[in-house]
Chain A
Amino acid sequence: MAHTPLPGRAGWSRRSFLATMGAAALTVAACGGSGESESAAADISGVQAPVLDSLTGDERTRVATLIAKARSEGALNWITPIITDSKDPLIEAFKQRHNLPGLQVSFENLQTGQVTSRVQSEVTSRQIKTDVVGLNGSPSFFKTLKDAEMLENYRSPQLTAYQGADKFVSIDPGYWASPIAVQYLPVYNPKVWTTGVGSWYDLLDPRLKGKISWPGVPSSESALLMYRGLREVLPLSYFQSLKNNAPRIGVGNSTVATQMVSQGELTIAVTQSHTVHNTSQQLGVPLEVAFPKEGAVLDGWSVGILTGCPHPATAKLFMDFILSENAVQIMVEKQAATPVRDDVKMPAELAHFAPASPGAAHAIPVDPLADRKTMQASRDEFVGIFGG
């Protein structure tokens, strides 16, 4: 499990002298810790942490070594969308569990596009500043990084709890894994829309004209996956009929869409449901999530470590943590997201916001890593109906 060095830079000689010199300087800086291996000598005699209490033998030594190195690294940079409401308890629990009270965790809650843009920029410029990246609905993002040798190969021991999860969400053991999952589902205020939603066909109700939103398929890969999944169970004519109801396409992320429902700007928003619970509480508006009988695509929130990241030991500890039962329980309780691990249970009071498990999600299977042509054809089909 040696920390992988940055790949070569062949083919980049076209860049200017200044660019090359600058990049080289930054590459050296970014690779500061990349030469170290986990087995390298580290003084673990004084390392104590709650996480070590349940470990023995080699695994205890390995984790203690990582903790010792994490103390010297002193920081962790983590970027992701989705984890808005659970990030503070997650960070606190991570520090406490690994006895890293002085660790500086830089967390940036970005939109999906900002995450991918940031990572691409860091990879292209060889200025890796991010340690851990989390993203939902973008398995091709992780696949592209892996193919470019920019995703760290790290097999967390926690992966044993995810066996069989690849039936529901995208996982590539050693590169990325999904501890929780979300779905695009209809969200509505039951006081405003009393009819309820039992089927996707209920969205064709003419009373909803101009008052529903649909995810922005042209600019969101997770929305594209959702569309491809729904096309497995719904004919093209369904979407042509939906067009007659003038849905607003891509009003924003789940936070924005859910707010629009709570304010009355929209009657129904088809959006990822993980913000519904908290928005409902914050704004004092009752909100419901519908589970159409035809099903919906289950979208894993995946986590991976960037190759050449500045804090590799801390990143590995964090990867272990974020995939652990403890962390998944926090995310499920704070975000009302579906746990991918079998041993984490959804609290009963949250069960109407998200499926309790992947098996209960009535998930529509869809190949998340379909070739570019297939993806583009689906995107073009959607654009052909709803426009750009």
Chain B
Amino acid sequence: MTLDAPPRPGVDPAPVTPPTRAPRSGQGRWVVIALTWAATIAVVVPILAVLYESLRARTGLLTSVWSLDSYRALLSPRIYDAALLSLKFGVGSAIFATVVGAILAFLVVRTDLPGRRFIEICSYVPFFLSSFLLAICWQYVGSPNTGLVNNLLGGAFLNIYTEWGIILVIGIAHTPLAFLMISGALRQMDPALEHAARVCGAGRFRTSRQITLRLVSRGIISAFVINFVMGFEDLGVPLVLGNPSGIEPLPLRIWEVIQREFPADYNFAAAASVLLLTVPVVAFWLQSRLLGKRSRYTLSGKATAPQRMALGWAKWPAFAFCLLWTFVAVILPMIALVLTAIQRRWSGSLDLSLLTLDNFKAVFATSSYSLPVVSAFWNSFVLSIVVATVVVLLAAVVTYAVQRMRIRGGRFAEVVLSIPLAIPGSTIAVGLLNLLVQTPLYATIWIIAIGFAIRYIPYGLRTVDAAFGAIHPELEEASRVSGYGLGQTLRRIVVPLLRPAMVGGWLLLFILLMRDVGMSNLLYAGGNRTLSVALLSISSLQQTGVVAAFALMQIVLFLAVASLALLSGGARREALRM
């Protein structure tokens, strides 16, 4: 399986001269090879564990036998409906995110829209929150009877606890990714073709439709597919908005089987995970087929910077659209969350007599939840730092092994290590649960760390791979000719050159790991509570105001980290590479 990468703006063209192999001897070489294959095996084993468990059936709390019962259970109408619902969420949210993301990207990158930088920064904000946090915000915005919107409009206009409501929130959560990918394609586009079209008499609209749109179609298709996969496997939004109204897509069903039912049926969860795995794999396969036929469109090698299109009279309607997006995606949910957090109880409006800061105190109240909250923050923090570091370093090692050392089976390892991009996090989590439940790793943060590392290694690989492409191998050859070994060459030549990309990738991974919902909720087993798990627990045990206060604190934390990343420019650049 090959996964098509969106365009990589800012990366120099590949060197003309083919790279020479790194030396075939030395201790360092074997370390690099061992690490590469260890990472590859780590990805394969949980998938095999899922397949294995899906072919077993529980006969008691502690016993199971070979059986196809779990697959037979998938044929039930409940699972059929759940799978259909997941498809609906995937397609619906992908259409929403891709269309809105494409419009925003076009306006920000290719037009003279006023306030472009502001709109661009606002467009990233939902990316730095998890879909889970966004769903919690939208509870207060769109509840039918006490939602902020309905209260302001004086009627029941919006019900967020519906399939459309869920699609809307997933779509909003994933729009920044579409924006990033499509804006990357637009920035890289060769403007000469547009010029030619205009010279030939094509109007602004026709040029946009027939030239620009086709030139960025790879980016659009990639954005659609990745958004479809993310919408298909999303757990956070259905957990918050689907649960209360009996809307149960496949990831939520798997979560319920593992976290709510007794005895938890890991065999059925494994079979359902296989089903969950099939759809993204097919989607990525279709994508590669589709994009393969479109390879005649060249998106690189631009000679001049693209000229911004003058919007003319359409400037202000376009600006209004962007402001509407910013209001709906960022401001409205934040207002609702803040209003909920600062009031004794939430009734859909601001009641000055109910103002309080007690909700914030309650989050850390010594008699109730202080330890879980503090330990959850600490767990998430440690996990994110450790895993982001390990993934980036491992990615550097693997890329070096494949690109420079060209180890035997290196391309195979590269493909295998890309697979987690197409696998739902819940599938990996189920595999790890089955594999590690009897080891000391179980119920520690390290089982989550392993899951995170497997899940996010493709992101690290893409970051480092792109940066490696820009480093000519003659620098390493010069190092070796000067008598340096592999270790010294890596330390003194390769790593310093890769450092900017690695730092940017690290920051992006840190944010993605801090906000993770799906994997940590499935792998949680007491003592390894992360921020999202703590939020889920508190949301079921505490008053609404306390939940909102905790969510708000998380959002402030995430945005602070994201601001650092945005200021450095690293995370955005690396997100564009993925």
Complex Cα spacing A265 to B141, Å: 12
| Contact residues in B for A113 (Cβ distance below 8 Å) | 256, 259-262
A117 at the interface (CB under 8 A from B): yes
Minimum Cβ distance to chain B for residue A8 (Å): 10
| Contact residues in B for A211 (Cβ distance below 8 Å) | 145
| Contact residues in B for A387 (Cβ distance below 8 Å) | 246
B346 at the interface (CB under 8 A from A): yes
A86 at the interface (CB under 8 A from B): no
Cβ-defined contact, A252 with B540, below 8 A? yes
Cβ-defined contact, A23 with B347, below 8 A? no
Tell me how many residue pairs across A and B have CB atoms closer than 8 Å. Answer: 167
- The residue in A20, A111, A120, A251 that gathers the most chain B C-beta atoms within 10 A of its C-beta is A120
| Contact residues in B for A219 (Cβ distance below 8 Å) | 256, 260-261
- Given A386-B246, A388-B81, the answer on whether A118 and B526 have CB atoms closer than 8 Å is yes
Minimum Cβ distance to chain A for residue B377 (Å): 17
Interface of chain B residues 338 through 395 with chain A (CB within 8 A): 344-348, 367, 372
A99 at the interface (CB under 8 A from B): no
Nearest to B139 among chain A residues (CB) is A265
B332 at the interface (CB under 8 A from A): no
A121 at the interface (CB under 8 A from B): yes
Interface of chain A residues 64 through 122 with chain B (CB within 8 A): 79, 84, 88, 108-114, 116-122
Interface of chain B residues 221 through 255 with chain A (CB within 8 A): 243-246, 248
Cβ-defined contact, B442 with A127, below 8 A? yes
Minimum Cβ distance to chain B for residue A269 (Å): 11
Instruction: Select which of A19, A147, A248, A386 is within 8 A of B435 by beta carbon.
Output: A19
| Contact residues in B for A56 (Cβ distance below 8 Å) | none
Q: Which of B13-21, B55-63, B468-476, B477-485 contacts A (4 or more CB under 8 A)?
A: B55-63
- Given A117-B264, A252-B243, the answer on whether A129 and B443 have CB atoms closer than 8 Å is yes
| Contact residues in B for A126 (Cβ distance below 8 Å) | 438
A366 at the interface (CB under 8 A from B): no
Minimum Cβ distance to chain A for residue B380 (Å): 18
| Contact residues in B for A250 (Cβ distance below 8 Å) | 243-244, 246
Instruction: Select which of B143, B345, B438 is within 8 A of A284 by beta carbon.
Output: B345
Interface string of B193-212 (1 = CB under 8 A from A): 00000000000000000000
Cβ-defined contact, B345 with A262, below 8 A? yes
| Contact residues in B for A282 (Cβ distance below 8 Å) | 543
Cβ-defined contact, A116 with B264, below 8 A? yes
A22 at the interface (CB under 8 A from B): yes
Interface of chain A residues 117 through 142 with chain B (CB within 8 A): 117-127, 129, 138, 140-141
Complex Cα spacing A141 to B346, Å: 36
Instruction: Select which of B81, B348, B439, B442 is within 8 A of A121 by beta carbon.
Output: B442
| Contact residues in B for A116 (Cβ distance below 8 Å) | 260-264
Cβ-defined contact, A388 with B526, below 8 A? no
A46 at the interface (CB under 8 A from B): no
Cβ-defined contact, A84 with B541, below 8 A? yes
| Contact residues in B for A34 (Cβ distance below 8 Å) | none
Minimum Cβ distance to chain B for residue A262 (Å): 6
Identify whether the interface residues of B are mostly helix, strand, loop, or mixed.
Answer: loop
Interface of chain B residues 414 through 440 with chain A (CB within 8 A): 435-440
Instruction: Select which of B261, B437, B439, B443 is within 8 A of A18 by beta carbon.
Output: B439
Minimum Cβ distance to chain A for residue B120 (Å): 36
Cβ-defined contact, B62 with A124, below 8 A? yes
Nearest to A8 among chain B residues (CB) is B62
Cβ-defined contact, A25 with B540, below 8 A? no
Cβ-defined contact, A144 with B544, below 8 A? no
Q: Which of A226-234, A253-261, A298-306, A340-348 contacts B (4 or more CB under 8 A)?
A: A253-261
Cβ-defined contact, A127 with B443, below 8 A? yes
Instruction: Select which of A123, A148, A249, A265 is within 8 A of B145 by beta carbon.
Output: A265
- Given A113-B261, A116-B262, A252-B244, the answer on whether A388 and B438 have CB atoms closer than 8 Å is no
Instruction: Select which of A123, A218, A253, A264 is within 8 A of B62 by beta carbon.
Output: A123
- Given A19-B436, A256-B540, the answer on whether A249 and B262 have CB atoms closer than 8 Å is no
Interface string of B75-107 (1 = CB under 8 A from A): 000100110000000000000000000000000
Minimum Cβ distance to chain A for residue B177 (Å): 29
Cβ-defined contact, A150 with B261, below 8 A? no
Cβ-defined contact, B442 with A125, below 8 A? yes
Minimum Cβ distance to chain B for residue A106 (Å): 9
A373 at the interface (CB under 8 A from B): no
| Contact residues in B for A248 (Cβ distance below 8 Å) | 161, 244-246
- Given A211-B145, A219-B260, the answer on whether A114 and B541 have CB atoms closer than 8 Å is no
Instruction: Select which of B60, B82, B263 is within 8 A of A388 by beta carbon.
Output: B82
A52 at the interface (CB under 8 A from B): no
A174 at the interface (CB under 8 A from B): no
Cβ-defined contact, A388 with B145, below 8 A? no
Interface string of B531-557 (1 = CB under 8 A from A): 000000101111110000000000000
Minimum Cβ distance to chain B for residue A1 (Å): 24
B258 at the interface (CB under 8 A from A): yes
A364 at the interface (CB under 8 A from B): no
Cβ-defined contact, B62 with A263, below 8 A? no
- Given A263-B346, A388-B81, the answer on whether A117 and B259 have CB atoms closer than 8 Å is yes
| Contact residues in B for A2 (Cβ distance below 8 Å) | none
- The residue in A11, A114, A123 that gathers the most chain B C-beta atoms within 10 A of its C-beta is A114
Cβ-defined contact, B61 with A123, below 8 A? yes
Cβ-defined contact, A15 with B540, below 8 A? no
- Given A88-B367, A111-B540, A263-B346, the answer on whether A148 and B144 have CB atoms closer than 8 Å is no
Cβ-defined contact, B526 with A108, below 8 A? yes
Cβ-defined contact, A121 with B540, below 8 A? no
Interface string of A207-234 (1 = CB under 8 A from B): 0001101001011110000000000000
| Contact residues in B for A110 (Cβ distance below 8 Å) | 537
Complex Cα spacing A15 to B346, Å: 51
A266 at the interface (CB under 8 A from B): yes
B111 at the interface (CB under 8 A from A): no
Complex Cα spacing A118 to B435, Å: 17
B525 at the interface (CB under 8 A from A): yes
Interface residues of B (CB under 8 A from A): 60-63, 78, 81-82, 143-146, 161, 243-246, 248, 256, 258-264, 344-348, 367, 372, 435-443, 525-527, 537, 539-544
Other than the given A117-B258, A252-B540, 17 more pairs (CB < 8 A) read: A109-B541, A111-B541, A116-B263, A117-B259, A118-B525, A120-B61, A121-B526, A123-B62, A125-B439, A147-B61, A213-B244, A219-B261, A259-B345, A263-B345, A264-B146, A386-B246, A388-B78
14 A/B residue pairs, CB under 8 Å, sorted by A: A22-B439, A109-B541, A110-B537, A111-B537, A113-B259, A114-B259, A116-B261, A121-B442, A123-B62, A124-B62, A125-B438, A148-B61, A216-B246, A259-B544
Q: What are the 9 A-B residue pairs with the smallest beta carbon separation, nearest first?
A: A113-B260, A22-B439, A116-B262, A23-B438, A251-B244, A148-B61, A249-B246, A19-B438, A283-B345
